Amino acid sequence: MTEPTQVAVITGASRGLGLVIARVLANRRYRLVIGGRDRQALEAAADDLSRRAPEVVAVAGDITDAQVRANLVDGARRLGGLDRLVNNASELGPIGPLRSFDVPRLGRLFPVNVGAPLFLMQLAVPLLVERHGLIVNITSDAATAAYPGWGPYGATKAALELLTRTFATELRDQNVSAVLVDPGDMRTRMHQEAFPGEDITDRPLPEVTEPFWNWLFDQDPTNVRGERFVAQQKDARWLQPA
C-alpha cells in the first residue's frame, strides 16, 4: 500500500524562518499549507515552494482572525490530513522598559503569540490524531531570561511554552506530540525591527537552522514529545532542559 503524502501547516511562512521551515518540508515532499499577512510575499513564497512541494495552498490573513485559522486547517484537510503544524507566526511589539510599556499592547501580543497558536492546535487535533502528528511551536530565549526591554514579548513566549508542554501531556494518549524550538538570533525582519537603524549582519540567516529541522522531521514524534530544542546548538546538541 502506498503511504499517504505528508501534509504540513506553517504560519508566518512568507519569509524568514517560516519560509526556511517550509522549504525543508517541501524538499521532503510534503504538501504544504502556508500562512502570512503579506499576500504578495506569501504568493511569491508559494511560487517558490511549488517547485519543490507536490502541492502548496496559500492562506493570506492575520492569524488572529478565526476564519484565517479555519482556512489553514481546512486547507490541510483538503490535502488529505495533517502531520506537522508549525506555529511560527509571531509579533515582537515595542522594545523598551516595562516601566513605560503601553500595557494595552498586551491585547495584541498575547492574541498573536499565545491565543492564535492555541486556537490552531485545538482546531488541528482531530487531523493530527489520525496521523499521530507533531506540533512545533516557535519560542525564544526571551521566554527564560530577563532581557531588559524584551519583557512583554518574553512573557508571551513563556506562556506559550507552558501551554505547549501541557498540551503535549494532555494528548499523550492520543499520540499527538508537541515540541518547542528556540531558533536563536537570526538576521530577520522581526529582529531588525527590534534594533531599528542598527547593523545586524553579524547574525546568521535563518538557513543556519536547516540541519536542525531536517533532524527534527526525521524523528518519531512520540520520542520528542514535550521537549524544548535550540536550533543553533553545535554538534547536534539541540535538546535543552524544559
Provide the annotated active-site residues: 153
What's the grid cell of residue 87?
A: 506555529
The helix (H) or strand (E) run that includes residue 16 is helix 16-27
CB 183 within 8 A of CB 229: no
Query: Could you give the C-alpha distances from 134 to 49, 51, 119, 146, 151, in angstroms and in order?
Result: 21, 25, 16, 29, 29
What's the grid cell of residue 31?
A: 504538501
CB 16 within 8 A of CB 90: no
Instruction: Return d(Cα 110, Cα 207) in angstroms, integer.
Output: 27
Query: Could you give the C-alpha distances from 141 to 3, 72, 131, 160, in angstroms and in order?
Result: 38, 28, 31, 12
